[in-house]
C-alpha cells in the first residue's frame, strides 16, 4: 500500500508540473518567451522526466502507464528544444501541454495495470537504442500533430471570423504549417531509423526480418503516410487543412502501434487472461 501511495503521489506531481506552462500563455501569445515561461516550461519537462526515469530505473517496463509517461517526458524535452529555436512553437504550449496533461491523467488511471519487465535477451543496448529512437520519432510526430491541430483551429476561427481568446494565442496558419513540416521531416527520419533498427533486432534475435504483427504493420503504414504527406506538401498539392488531417491520422496510427497495443494487451485483455 505505501508503494502504491508513493506511486500515486509521484504521478500526481508529474501531472501537476504540466499545468503552469500550459496556463501561462493561455490566450496571450506574448507571454510565451519571457523568463517566467522558461521557468514553468523547465518544470513541465522535469516533472514527467523524473517520474519516467524513476519508473524505468531498474529495468525497462512495458506497461501502458510507463509507456505514456515515457512519451510525455520525451515530448516535453523535444518541445523545450524546439522552443529554443522557434519562437512560434512557444505559443503551442496551451494546446500541447494540455493534451499531454490529459495523457497523464490516463496514465494515472492505468498505473496499477501490470507492467512486465523485458527479459534479458530483449534488454540489449541495441534494443534500448531502438526504443529510444522510436519514442523520439513519436514525440516529433506528436508535435507535428499538435501544430496541425493549431492550424485547423486557426482556419476554423478565420472562417467564422473570430479572433482572440484561446485560438488567438496560437501560432499563425503559416507558422503552424512551417512548424508541422519540420516536425514531420524529423519524425519521418527517425521513424525510418526505428524501423531499420527494429528489423535488425528481430534478425539478430529471431532471424526474422519483418514480423507481421500489429506494431510493425501500423508503424510501416504511418511511415508511408508521412512520406506521402511530405511529398504532396513539397509539390504544393495538399492544403493546410488536409495536411493537418492526414498528420492526425498518422499520429493515431502510431499511437495504436505503441501505447495502443499495450493498452489492449495490458488492460483490455488482462482480465480474460487472468
The domain segmentation of the chain, as residue ranges, is: 2-267
pLDDT tens digits, 99-140: 999 999 988 887 776 555 555 445 567 777 888 899 999 999
67: nearest Cα among 254, 222, 247, 245 = 254
The pTM of the full predicted model, rounded to 2 decimals, is 0.88
What is the reported pLDDT for 263? 54
With a cut of 70, say whether residue 273 has pLDDT above it: no
Grid coordinates representing 99?
493534451
Between 230 and 126, whose confidence is greater?
230
What is the reported pLDDT for 260? 58
With a cut of 70, say whether residue 3 has pLDDT above it: no
**With the CA atoms of 239, 82, 109 and 17 taken in that order, what torsion angle do they form, in degrees rounded to the nearest 10?**
-140
Alpha helices by DSSP H, listed for the chain, are 2-16, 19-23, 35-55, 64-85, 93-109, 125-159, 165-168, 173-206, 214-235, 240-255, 261-263, 270-273
Stretch 209-233: mean pLDDT = 86
Between 9 and 83, whose confidence is greater?
83
Spell 35-68 as b/e; 16+ CB within 10 A means b. Answer: eebbebbebbbebbbebbeebbeeebbbbbbbbb
What is the reported pLDDT for 206? 72
With a cut of 70, say whether residue 259 has pLDDT above it: no
% the chain with pLDDT above 90? 42
With a cut of 50, say whether residue 249 has pLDDT above it: yes
Between 128 and 219, whose confidence is greater?
219
What is the reported pLDDT for 1? 44
Q: Rounded mean pLDDT of the chain?
A: 82
pLDDT tens digits, 145-190: 999 999 999 988 888 877 777 788 899 999 999 999 999 999 999 9
Amino acid at each position: 500500500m505505501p508503494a502504491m501511495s508513493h506511486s500515486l503521489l509521484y504521478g500526481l506531481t508529474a501531472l501537476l508540473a504540466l499545468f503552469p506552462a500550459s496556463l501561462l500563455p493561455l490566450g496571450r501569445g506574448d507571454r510565451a518567451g519571457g523568463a517566467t515561461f522558461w521557468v514553468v516550461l523547465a518544470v513541465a519537462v522535469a516533472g514527467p522526466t523524473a517520474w519516467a526515469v524513476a519508473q524505468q530505473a531498474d529495468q525497462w517496463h512495458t506497461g501502458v502507464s510507463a509507456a505514456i509517461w515515457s512519451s510525455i517526458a520525451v515530448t516535453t524535452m523535444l518541445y523545450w528544444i524546439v522552443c529554443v529555436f522557434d519562437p512560434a512553437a512557444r505559443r503551442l504550449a496551451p494546446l500541447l501541454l494540455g493534451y499531454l496533461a490529459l495523457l497523464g491523467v490516463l496514465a494515472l488511471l492505468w498505473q496499477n495495470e501490470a507492467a512486465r519487465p523485458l527479459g534479458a535477451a530483449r534488454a540489449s543496448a541495441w534494443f534500448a537504442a531502438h526504443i529510444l529512437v522510436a519514442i523520439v520519432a513519436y514525440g516529433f510526430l506528436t508535435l507535428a500533430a499538435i501544430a496541425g491541430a493549431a492550424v485547423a483551429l486557426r482556419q476554423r476561427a478565420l472562417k467564422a471570423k473570430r479572433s482572440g481568446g484561446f485560438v488567438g494565442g496560437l501560432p499563425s496558419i503559416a507558422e503552424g504549417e512551417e512548424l508541422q513540416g519540420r516536425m514531420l521531416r524529423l519524425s519521418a527520419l527517425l521513424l525510418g531509423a526505428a524501423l531499420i533498427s527494429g528489423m535488425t533486432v528481430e534478425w539478430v534475435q529471431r532471424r526474422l526480418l519483418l514480423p507481421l504483427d500489429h506494431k510493425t504493420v501500423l508503424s510501416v503504414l504511418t511511415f508511408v503516410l508521412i512520406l506521402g504527406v511530405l511529398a504532396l506538401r513539397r509539390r504544393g498539392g495538399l492544403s493546410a487543412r488536409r495536411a493537418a488531417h492526414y498528420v492526425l491520422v498518422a499520429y493515431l496510427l502510431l499511437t495504436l502501434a505503441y501505447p495502443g497495443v499495450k493498452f489492449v494487451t495490458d488492460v483490455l485483455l488482462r482480465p480474460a487472461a487472468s
